[in-house]
Structure 1
Amino acid sequence: MEQESEQTQLKVAGAESLPKERSGLRIRGWLIESRNRPILTSRCVEQWEHEIGTSHLPEMVFGESTLILLHLETGIKIHFNALDALKGWKDEALPPVEVPAAAQWKFRSKPFQQVILDYDYTFTTPYCGSETVDPNEAKHRTGAISEGESCSLLWEDCKEKIDLVALASKEPILFYDEVVLYEDELADNGVSLLTVKVRVMPSSWFLLLRFWLRVDGVLMRLRDTRMYCCFGSDGNTKPVVLREICWREATFQELSAKGFPSDSAAYSDPNLISQRLSILLHKTQKLKAPW
Structure 2
Amino acid sequence: METVVDKEILKSSGAELLPDGRRGLRIHDWEIETLRGTILTSLAVEEWEEKLKTSHLPEMVFAGWKQEGLPPVEVPAAAQWKFRSKPSQQVILDYDYTFTTPYCGSEVVEKDNEAVEAKANPKGEATLQWDNCEDQIDLAALSLKEPILFYDEVVLYEDELADNGVSLLTVKVRVMPSSWFLLLRFWLRVDGVLMRLRETRMHYTFGKDETPTVLRENCWREATFQSLSAKGYPVDLAVWSDPSSISQRLPVIKHTTQKLKIPRKV
Instruction: State the AA in 1 paired with 2:217.
Output: E
Q: Show the 5 A alignment for 1:1-291.
A: 6-58=6-58, 60-61=59-60, 82=62, 86=63, 88-105=64-81, 113-137=89-113, 152-232=127-207, 238-289=211-262
CA spacing shift, 1:105–1:23, aligned 2, 3 Å: farther
Q: Equivalents in 1 of 2:221, 2:25: separation in Å? A: 33
Q: Is the 8 A contact 2:213 2:262 kept in 1?
A: no
**CA–CA separation in structure 2 for the residues paired with 1:223 and 1:38:** 25
Query: Aligned residue pairs: how many?
Result: 253
Instruction: Quote the Cα distance in structure 1 between the aligned partners of 2:238 and 2:91.
Output: 26
Give the letter aligned to residue 211 of structure 1: F
TM-superposition CA deviations, 1:67-91 (whole Å, max 9, x none): xxxxxxxxxxxxxxx3xxx2x3212
The answer on whether the counterparts of 2:137 and 2:215 sit within 8 Å (CA) in structure 1 is yes
Aligned partners of 1:105 and 1:187 also within 8 Å: no
Partner SS state of residue 177, structure 2: coil
The structural deviation recorded for 1:5 is: 5.9
| 1:252 Cα deviation from its structure 2 partner | 0.2
Q: Secondary structure at the match of 1:248?
A: strand
Q: Percent identity?
A: 67
Task: Report deviation, 1:281.
Answer: 0.4
Counterpart of 2:173, as a letter, is: V
TM-score normalized by the length of structure 1 = 0.80
Residues 163 and 174 (structure 1 numbering): CA distance in 2 closer, same or farther, change over 3 Å? same
Deviation at 1:289, TM superposition (A): 4.3
Displaced runs of 4+ in structure 1, greater than 4 A? Answer: 146-151
User: Secondary structure at the residue paired with 2:19?
Assistant: coil
Name the SS of the counterpart of 2:6 in structure 1: helix
Post-superposition shift, 1:148?
A: 8.4
CA 1:38–1:115 in structure 2 vs 1: closer, same or farther (change >3 Å)? same
Q: 1:279 to 1:218 in 2, by over 3 A?
A: same
Structure 2 unaligned runs (5+)?
Answer: 83-87, 116-120
Distance 1:153 1:102 in 2: 43
For the residue of structure 1 that corresponds to 2:47, the secondary structure is helix
TM-score, length basis structure 2? 0.87
> CA separation in 1, counterparts of 2:28 and 2:109?
18
- Change in Cα spacing, 1:179 to 1:44, as seen in structure 2 (3 Å) is same
Counterpart residue identity of residue 255, structure 2 = H
Q: Secondary structure, in 3 states, of the residue corresponding to 1:134?
A: strand
Q: Is 1:14–1:28's contact at 8 Å kept on the other side of the alignment?
A: yes
Question: For residues 52 and 150 of structure 1, what CA distance do their matches in structure 2 show?
Answer: 28
Distance 1:113 1:228, change over 3 A: same
Query: 1:151 and 1:189, CA in 2 relative to 1: closer, same or farther beyond 3 A?
Result: farther
Q: Distance in 2 between matches of 1:149 and 1:28?
A: 29
3-state SS, counterpart of residue 235 of structure 2: coil
Q: CA 1:263–1:9 in structure 2 vs 1: closer, same or farther (change >3 Å)?
A: same
Alpha carbons of structure 1 residues 138 and 47: separation in structure 2 relative to 1, 3 Å: closer
Work out the CA distance in 1 between the residues paired with 2:38 and 2:45. Answer: 13
Summarize deviations over 1:207-257 as a string: whole Å, max 9, x none.
0000000000000000000000001069xx642100000000000000000
Extract unaligned runs of 5+ from structure 1: 64-81, 107-111, 140-145
